[in-house]
Structure 1
Amino acid sequence: MLLLMPRVAARIKRIPLPERLQSMKLAPRHLSLLSYLLFDGPMPVSQLAARLEVAPTTVSLMVSDLTQQGVLERRDDPEDRRRTIVALSEDPETRSAIERWLANGARAWRAAFDPLTPAERAVFVRTMEAYEGESS
């Protein structure tokens, strides 16, 4: 693992941004936020913060920046007007670019996890979480 992890991290950093996203100054930290919104759909800032394990103010700043760039949209929660729901832009070109950016990683994870049982997948995830906890 000590030899593999740096190669995996380096490969992730080299994932090229689609042309539509290149001027937007997206960083690897945006990858997780956009992944949640693409795969799990729109959600409140507080839920994004919990999933990303960062403060809601950090997510709010990221969302503000990405909203100004046309990557995300904010809307009132129809069930609770005090909450704001964050979603990917409905612009087809932007959404397609985000999907292309995330597609290789999603495809690779599916291929890696497909032969594993749910229990084996859980062990892998717990192992990665333990590694993350010890390496910080």
Structure 2
Amino acid sequence: MSTGEPGPPGLSVDDGIRTMLLLMPRMVGAAKKLKVPAALRSFDLAPRHLSLLAYLLFDGPTGVNALAERLEVAPTTVSLMVGDLSRQGILERGEDPADRRRTIVSIAEGHRRAIHDWLAQSAGAWRTALEPLTPEQRRLVVDTLTVYEREVTADRRN
């Protein structure tokens, strides 16, 4: 039953797809242009390192297996990345006092500020985009982007 008042603004599926196909390359291009802080420019950091560093910055020191689970890669892959970044002095590895067989990884104190500044560029933009939304709307955005990422990479996994 219509009240004569317009409904909430929305997009058809096709209009949403069209909009996202135009928006996503611009978003990716903008993200690629984020300036790496001068203190980190001499290191060969790739996007996979950014994800690893983000987890360590937000969650604090973490075990290799937990990082592998969060990054959705094999523990050996994380071990290789951690080894590389440790040799460069970006990360530190230490023993877990509760379980000496377990390695805990953390950001080296001398690089923490530069990594924070690098991630803050993108985090600030996401904060501006997500803060006005309700928790349910934020969950919808994150879930939607997660499904998109899963579907767009499905061909590479098969």
Normalised to the residue count of structure 2, the TM-score between the two structures is: 0.83
- Residues in 2 aligned to 1:111 and 1:99: alpha-carbon distance in whole angstroms: 17
Partner of 1:23, secondary structure, is coil
Partner of 2:25, secondary structure, is helix
Q: Which residue of 2 aligns with 1:46?
A: 65
- Across the aligned residues of Structure 1 and Structure 2, the Cα RMSD in angstroms comes to 0.8
Q: Which residue of 1 aligns with 2:112?
A: 95
- Residues in 1 aligned to 2:115 and 2:40: alpha-carbon distance in whole angstroms: 8
What residue ranges of structure 2 are gaps of 5+ in the alignment? 1-19, 154-158
- Residues in 2 aligned to 1:73 and 1:9: alpha-carbon distance in whole angstroms: 30
What residue ranges of structure 1 are gaps of 5+ in the alignment? none
Q: Which residue of 2 aligns with 1:74?
A: 93
**Is 1:11 the counterpart of 2:30 in the alignment?**
yes
Partner of 1:3, secondary structure, is helix
Larger radius of gyration: 2
Partner of 2:57, secondary structure, is helix
Instruction: State the aligned residue count.
Output: 134
Kindly indicate whether the alpha-carbon contact (under 8 Å) linking 1:77 and 1:84 is maintained by their aligned counterparts in 2.
yes
Q: Which residue of 2 aligns with 1:133?
A: 150
TM-superposed deviation, 1:90: 1.6
- Residues in 1 aligned to 2:46 and 2:35: alpha-carbon distance in whole angstroms: 11
Kindly indicate whether the alpha-carbon contact (under 8 Å) linking 1:13 and 1:28 is maintained by their aligned counterparts in 2.
no
Structure 2 counterpart of 1:124, from 130, 133, 141: 141
Kindly indicate whether the alpha-carbon contact (under 8 Å) linking 1:33 and 1:52 is maintained by their aligned counterparts in 2.
yes
**Is 1:107 the counterpart of 2:144 in the alignment?**
no
Partner of 2:41, secondary structure, is helix
TM-superposed deviation, 1:110: 1.0
Structure 2 counterpart of 1:30, from 36, 49, 53: 49
Instruction: State, as a whole percentage, how many aligned pairs show the same letter.
Output: 60
TM-superposed deviation, 1:36: 0.6
- Residues in 2 aligned to 1:102 and 1:55: alpha-carbon distance in whole angstroms: 24
Normalised to the residue count of structure 1, the TM-score between the two structures is: 0.95
Structure 1 counterpart of 2:102, from 83, 90, 105: 83
